[in-house]
């Protein structure tokens, strides 16, 4: 029997998190030499908190969370940085 579980995450103060990641994505390389690079990475750690909501068979569960996350962006050659992944450090 196939069951469906719905998962949603609500961040407290998502605007601050968005601004921080946008600054990371839009940063200029510092100390870049004249050598050609295939790719450049940029990472930042952020303390994030909010609520995880789970729903299965009409039952809902809300779980508060807080923890550090690592956000990493990669820029390939001369393109702009793009958010590639994030991972929990908890």
List phi, psi (to 5°) of 34.
-75, -5
pTM of the predicted protein model: 0.60
Domain boundaries, the chain: 5-27+38-88
Q: For the segment 48-84, what is each residue's pLDDT rounded down to a tens digit? A: 889 999 998 889 999 999 988 888 888 777 677 777 7
3-state secondary structure of 60: strand
List, for residues 78-88, the tens digit of each pLDDT value.
677 777 777 87
- To 5 degrees, how large is the angle CA 36–CA 39–CA 40? 100
Per-residue pLDDT of 12-46, as tens digits, reads 888 888 888 777 777 665 545 555 667 788 888 88
């Amino acid at each position: 029997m196939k069951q469906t579980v719905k998962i949603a995450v609500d961040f407290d103060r998502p605007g601050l998190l968005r601004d921080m990641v946008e600054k990371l994505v839009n940063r200029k390389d510092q100390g870049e030499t004249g050598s050609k690079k295939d790719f450049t990475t940029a990472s930042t750690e952020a303390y994030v908190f909010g609520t995880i909501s789970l729903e299965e068979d009409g039952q809902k569960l809300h779980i508060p969370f807080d923890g550090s996350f690592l956000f990493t962006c990669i820029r390939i050659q001369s393109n702009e940085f793009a958010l590639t992944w994030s991972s929990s450090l908890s």
